[in-house]
Amino acid sequence: MKRTGTKDVKEKPNPTRESLVLIVDDDPTARDLIRVTLSREGHHLVYAANGSQALAKARELTPDLILLDVMMPDINGFEVCRRLRTDPLLGQVPIVMITALTDRDARLQGIEAGADDFISKPLDPAELRARVRTITRLNRYRLLRERAVFEQLVKVLPDGLVITDAEGVVQLVNPTMLRMLAVDEEGDVVGKELLTFVAPQGSAALSTCIRDVVAAAPEATQAETWFIRSDGKRFAAEINARHLTWQGEPAAQIIVRDATERKLAEEKLHAYAQQQTALYTIASTVAASSLKPDELLADALDVVLNVLDADAGWVVLPGSTEETPSRVVASRAVPASLLADGTPPTSDKLAQAGLREHVSIPLSAGDGVLGVMEIAWRQPYSCTEADRSLLTAISQQLGLALRNAQLYQSALQVDRLQVLNELDQALVATLDPQEVAHIALHRIAEALDAPTGTLLLIPPHPNAGVEIFTVNGERIEAPPCDDLPRRLRDSREALLLSGDKLSQIAFSCELVEQWGSSALVIPVRDEDDLVALLALGGRPDSRPFTDEERALAQAVASRARQAIQNARLYQTSRQTSARLTT
């Protein structure tokens, strides 16, 4: 044994040393004759007096040649030869059988048992020396050749190779493994426990792997672990271990393959899958959200906080002009004191609130930045390359969604202005209250795609009847409506009423309309007095009236009120003029 590193390392086979010859014979005289004959040939001689001793000595010493007597009392030479040939470590050791049997059948039996050669008794010393010299020389050349092939394979093996004993102590390591560990000298690894070079979280897996294969596991054992290089850096490795007999004792042959690139590819694939999942979640949220920019950004902020596992966030949009300050349009988990003035909080204020880290996500569309989403954490946050890629994708996705929402709002505004402009042009052409009512009702019902619509003109005198106009061009005179619900009489905003309640308001007027499950009712007021009711309905449940449509209907109702007032004043003026002339 020799000491290398920190543990005992078994001496490697040396084919250039003196040959070890095991002499097996139950006759002491015969053993002495062989000893005298070979003692000057430079061989190292060991002896066994029977078959059992022969097997034990052979397993202990792994001789270069066995001289085996056939006729022994416990186990004969043929049986010993057969058993040696089935041993993985001893199966290639040359065996010369010494026999007094000269018949052909005995020699055939020896050949079948695995003998390489025969020497007959009584021994001829010259023949014995010549046979032993020739066989040991040929065996030495064979071992040298096999050793050279083995060493060459070990050197050119693209993967790392380590052989450890049953305790996990490194007995052999190839150049590839030394390069993996960033080690120059073999002695820096051989003789040390392999676990010395393994990261703590991977030690258990590798230890189990070595234990299983040393216990003569029939199949190769695979595992994954992390090795530590001499510079402190780690690398992932795939382990493939097999049982091996090394210097006569069970050992583990371990193939180490650097899995860093595979791990990186897996991490990138995992990060990509997470990114796509996050973007799909954001896209789904945006698609289901309102097309109002503020509401859309509030919904998106909730999703982004969840995706990034953040603690707080807010969204800032620029003012409508350069003089107008930026404004916070949505926020989550941000202390109210930080947003009291409606402007974005400063870094100092965030730190005082316990928000230690934050990142800014510009909401980009094309070459412009439409706003900024700020995300904050209470704990330190390390932004990885995958995170940066995700933030860039979120920036582009939300920026595009915000641009679309703004464009949609602009388009709605254009449509609204067009409807109101056309209404104004139509109303200017008449001073007849009934015609004003027909025009206003027709225009708004067409703009909102409402199949059913009614405009009730409430006269200024309480006892006068009600005029009801429908989208079909009908005009109906009804009795005074004294039973209008207080909710309608006092309201100044548009209301949504069920069809049943609206039919009740269709009041005593025998009007039968298909309103659907809900209808939009807009009170038209002249200061404190209710002058008209605009009701629209008949749309399916899947198309409820939106806030934008309610705002448009409110604007139409306001213009209709003014036009009706003007028409009534004109009518009153004509009536007054007529009385004066008569």
Cα–Cα distance measured from residue 580 to residue 577, given in angstroms and rounded to the nearest whole number: 5
Q: Does 430-577 carry CATH code 3.30.450.40?
A: yes
Residue showing tokens 């000491």? 3
For 393-413, write each residue's pLDDT tens digit. Answer: 888 888 888 888 888 777 777
- Residue 3: the pLDDT is 36
CATH 3.40.50.2300 for domain 2-152: yes
* Type of residue found at 346: T
Q: Average pLDDT for residues 550-566, to the nearest whole number? A: 81
Q: What is the DSSP letter of 15?
A: T
CA distance 72 to 78: 10
Identify the residue with better confidence: 15 or 300.
Answer: 300
At residue 40, φ and ψ (nearest 5 deg) are -95, 5
Please report the pLDDT score of residue 205 as a whole number.
Answer: 84
Span 347-369, pLDDT tens digits = 888 888 888 888 889 998 877 88
Q: What is the pLDDT of residue 203?
A: 87
- Of 55-64, 86-95, 147-156, the poorest mean pLDDT is in 147-156
Q: Is the pLDDT of residue 383 over 90?
A: no
Local confidence band at 1 (pLDDT 50, 70, 90 cut-offs): very low
The residue ranges of every structural domain in the chain are 2-152, 157-258, 270-409, 430-577
Q: Write the pLDDT tens digit of every residue in 159-179.
A: 888 889 988 999 888 888 888
Give how far Cα 50 sits from Cα of 26, 91, 97, 539, Å. Answer: 6, 19, 14, 109
State how far the Cα of 359 lies from the Cα of 376, in Å rounded to an integer: 7
CATH fold for domain 270-409:
Beta-Lactamase (3.30.450)
| pLDDT for position 101 | 65
**pLDDT surpasses 50 at 15:** no
Band of pLDDT at residue 148, cut at 50, 70 and 90: low
CA dihedral 347, 352, 355, 356 (to 10 degrees): 70
Beta bridge pairs of residue 357: 377
In CATH terms, are 2-152 and 157-258 the same topology? no
437 has pLDDT over 60: yes
> Model confidence over 313-346: pLDDT tens digits?
999 888 777 777 888 889 998 888 887 776 778 8
Any idea which of 36-45, 236-245, 299-308, 487-496 has the lowest mean pLDDT? 487-496
Q: Which fold has domain 157-258?
A: Beta-Lactamase (3.30.450)
From the list 550, 505, 501, the residue with the least C-alpha distance to 530 is: 505
Regarding predicted confidence, which is higher, 493 or 194? 194
> CA-CA distance, 70 to 525, in Å (whole number)?
129
Mean residue pLDDT of the chain comes to 81
- 429, pLDDT greater than 70: yes
Let me know: does 299 contact 289? Beta carbons within 8 Å: yes
Q: Write out pLDDT tens, residues 470-529.
A: 887 788 777 766 556 566 666 777 777 765 666 555 543 444 446 666 778 888 777 777
pLDDT for res 68:
93
- Is the bond into 122 cis (omega within 30 degrees of 0)? yes
pLDDT at 12 over 90: no
Q: Over 70: is that where the pLDDT of 570 sits? A: yes
Query: Residue 470 corresponds to which tokens in the numbers above?
Result: 């429908």
Do 18 and 44 form a contact (C-beta atoms < 8 A)?
Answer: yes
| Torsion angle of C-alpha atoms 546, 552, 556, 559, degrees rounded to 10 | 140
66 band by pLDDT with thresholds 50, 70 and 90: very high
- pLDDT computed for residue 80 by the predictor: 92
